[in-house]
Amino acid sequence: MARLNVNPTRMVMSSLKKRLQTATRGHKLMKDKRDELIKIFIELARENKTLREKVEERLKSAYADLIIAGAVMPAGVLEESLMSPKQGAEIKVGHGSILSVDIPVFESHYRSHDISDIYPYGFAGTSGELDKAVAGIAETMPLLFELAETEKKAALLAEEIEKSRRRVNALEYIIIPDLKETIKYIRMKLDENERGNQARLMKVKDMMIKAAIEQKHAHI
């Protein structure tokens, strides 16, 4: 807590009181925003955890099927079967907002309108495990996109929460206490000046009374 370097005048004190009111309101609003962001972040973190577990489980199963397919199929046939993927996807990134925080909104577009059209090979010379692996990976892609969007949202919210936390702390522990300390100092200075003025006025009054009495005695 430090006193601001200002002139101790009534005008300055009035200006500081207005700043204190603004800072106090800003502190409450920023604190409310931070608390709400934390709630949303916790919900996103839970959603992200669930999505990640699903993605990891599905990819683990798909990779296991792919390993089995590699064991029962000639390496050249496996590589040739997967050389020219039939299906593809691209992501268009839009923009949304959560409590004034800009967040990405992912929109997926597939090469083929029939998203089940995923096998780039004939079924005669391949194994069923390869079919399961390709199907598993294809089914996981939408979840991967959703997971990426959720993780990015969570990261952006975490950054905003940290910024809000620093602002709240600055207002609560530095700006507001400094303003209060400065206002208190100015009030003490003004009271001290007022007492000094009153003392001088009383002294002048006493001198005037004394002078009047002496003048009256001089005319007797």
CA atoms within 13 Å, Cβ hemisphere of 31: 11
Asked whether residue 203 is domain-assigned, the answer is no
Its domain, for residue 45, covers 24-174
Give the span between the Cα atoms of 172 and 178, in whole angstroms: 10
Output the tens digit of pLDDT for each of the chain's 220 residues: 678 888 888 899 999 999 999 999 999 999 999 999 999 999 999 999 999 999 999 999 999 998 998 888 887 888 888 888 877 788 888 999 998 899 999 888 887 766 667 887 777 778 889 889 988 988 898 899 999 999 999 999 999 999 999 999 999 999 999 999 999 999 988 888 888 777 777 777 767 777 667 676 666 6
Indicate whether this model's pTM tops 0.85.
no
Give the span between the Cα atoms of 130 and 64, in whole angstroms: 10
Asked whether residue 180 is domain-assigned, the answer is no
Contact partners, residue 179, CB within 8 Å, separation at least 6? 4, 16, 19, 20, 23
Q: What is the pLDDT of residue 218?
A: 67
The DSSP secondary-structure symbol of 172 reads I
Q: What is the pLDDT of residue 189?
A: 87
Domain count, the chain: 1
Asked whether residue 18 is domain-assigned, the answer is no
> What CATH number should be reported for the domain holding residue 66?
1.10.287.3240
Q: What is the pLDDT of residue 192?
A: 84
Asked whether residue 192 is domain-assigned, the answer is no
Amino acid identity at 5: N
Q: What is the pLDDT of residue 1?
A: 64
Asked whether residue 115 is domain-assigned, the answer is yes
Q: What is the pLDDT of residue 214?
A: 67
Asked whether residue 186 is domain-assigned, the answer is no
Give the span between the Cα atoms of 204 and 216, in whole angstroms: 18
Give the span between the Cα atoms of 65 and 72, in whole angstroms: 11
Asked whether residue 190 is domain-assigned, the answer is no
CA atoms within 13 Å, Cβ hemisphere of 151: 10
C-alpha torsion angle, residues 150, 151, 154, 159 (rounded to 10) = -140
The DSSP secondary-structure symbol of 94 reads E
